[in-house]
Amino acid sequence: MHALRKLAREIHRRSVWQVVTVYLATSWVGYQAVEVATERVGLPVWTPAMALVLLVLGFPVVTATAVVQGGLPWLRIEDWGDPNDLEGLTPADVHVIPHLHPMYGVGLFTWRNAVLGGVASLALLVTSVVAYLAMWALGIGPLGSLLARGVIAEGDRVLVTEFENRTDQVVLGAALTETLSSGLAESRLVEVVGHRDIASQVARMTEDAPGSPSAGVAGRVAAEEGIRALVEGGVVRSAKGYVITVTITVPPSIVPIARFREVAATEDEVIGATHVLSQRIRERLGESLREIRAGASLTELYGVSPHTTRR
């Protein structure tokens, strides 16, 4: 206990608390700035999370550097240095004069290294965001938007089929279909066609009464009506909650060109998770991230914050 009290006193005397306070305050301001930029400029939605991780990783580095550069209270200079260096010093001086400590300015935990680490973290964040936006805008790889890749064009029509409901909630499929359709309808890039809009075509192609088209029928209807893409979804109950999946296909191919997945922990969060899916789909289609972010927030619309698992 005596050693712990001594450590606390020495850390306080070396202004470590002040360093920690400044770091936390600066981190909070920086994080708020990143969140504002994400909303207003249209940065990727994961940008604040990445910034937070980097700030959390930097906290122990800054704290350790402050302690080391201030002198470690459990290391005595008389155990390490030349006894002649102690002439004229009091016992308290031995512990609190930083430049006389054997670890001062030596090793990994220096302010120079701490600053370089902060610069490197900022460079990593900026590089990641720029790389993502460049790949998205140029249609490169799996991150590229479908518009940039030439898969769809502005003004194309997309068909949202009714969700495949594999839960015991009978009305859940229809509710999610409506939520996804409404979310995608906010897009200025494409025109959304609902399954009700093609009921007569479905009836003509099937012997059943008008209703939700199957994947095969939907593909034939899309080809006949000049619909560019199919958006098909499903929801199942799992140990983690409700798993919501959506795929995009371009007829006549039945191979999905994009897949999306969200997990809602409770039934109350399913609608919110589906709205998040609609935003991610709009992003993949190629709509401006700024326009997507400018819409009403998920919390304002539904008052929920679903646990998200992406794929």
Instruction: Encode pLDDT of 78-96 as tens digits.
Output: 454 555 555 665 555 555 4
pLDDT value of position 203? 58
SS3 119: helix
pLDDT above 50 for 308:
no
First to last CA, the chain: 50
Half-sphere exposure of 55 (CA within 13 A, CB side): 19
β 229-238/191-194 pair status: unpaired
- The encoded tokens of residue 25 equal 């305050």
pLDDT value of position 226? 79
Residue 48 pLDDT level (bands cut at 50, 70, 90):
very high
pLDDT value of position 173? 87
Residues carrying CATH 3.40.50.10070, the chain: 157-302
Instruction: Confirm whether pTM is higher than 0.75.
Output: no
Whether residue 246 contacts residue 227, with contact meaning beta carbons closer than 8 Å, is answered with no
- The encoded tokens of residue 57 equal 């990783």
Residues whose CB is less than 8 angstroms from the CB of residue 64 and which lie 6 or more positions away in sequence, other chains included: 109
SS3 187: coil
43-57, 64-78, 181-195, 277-291: segment of lowest average pLDDT: 64-78
Beta bridge partners of 237: 242
Q: What is the pLDDT of residues 266-305, one digit of tens each?
A: 888 999 999 999 999 999 999 888 788 766 444 344 444 4
181-190, 216-225, 226-235, 294-303: segment of lowest average pLDDT: 294-303
Query: Dihedral angle at the C-alpha atoms of 37, 43, 48, 50, nearest 10 degrees?
Result: -140
pLDDT value of position 198? 66
More confident residue, 175 or 310: 175
Residue 67 pLDDT level (bands cut at 50, 70, 90):
confident
Task: Kindly state the percentage of the chain with pLDDT values over 70.
Answer: 68
Mean pLDDT of the chain: 77
Fold of the CATH domain 157-302: Rossmann fold (3.40.50)
- The encoded tokens of residue 102 equal 């054997």
Query: Helix H segments across 103-214?
Result: 111-138, 172-185, 199-205
Residues whose CB is less than 8 angstroms from the CB of residue 267 and which lie 6 or more positions away in sequence, other chains included: 169, 242
Whether residue 230 contacts residue 158, with contact meaning beta carbons closer than 8 Å, is answered with yes
Measure the CA–CA gap between 305 and 235, rounded to whole angstroms.
18
Crossing angle for the helix pair 16-41 and 47-70, to the nearest 10 degrees: 160
SS3 90: coil
Element (H, E) at 13: helix 2-13
**Phi and psi, residue 177, nearest 5°:** -60, -45
pLDDT above 50 for 179:
yes
SS3 94: helix
Residue 247 pLDDT level (bands cut at 50, 70, 90):
very high
Whether residue 231 contacts residue 159, with contact meaning beta carbons closer than 8 Å, is answered with yes
Whether residue 242 contacts residue 263, with contact meaning beta carbons closer than 8 Å, is answered with yes
pLDDT above 50 for 181:
yes
292: left (phi over 0), alpha (psi -120 to 50) or beta: alpha
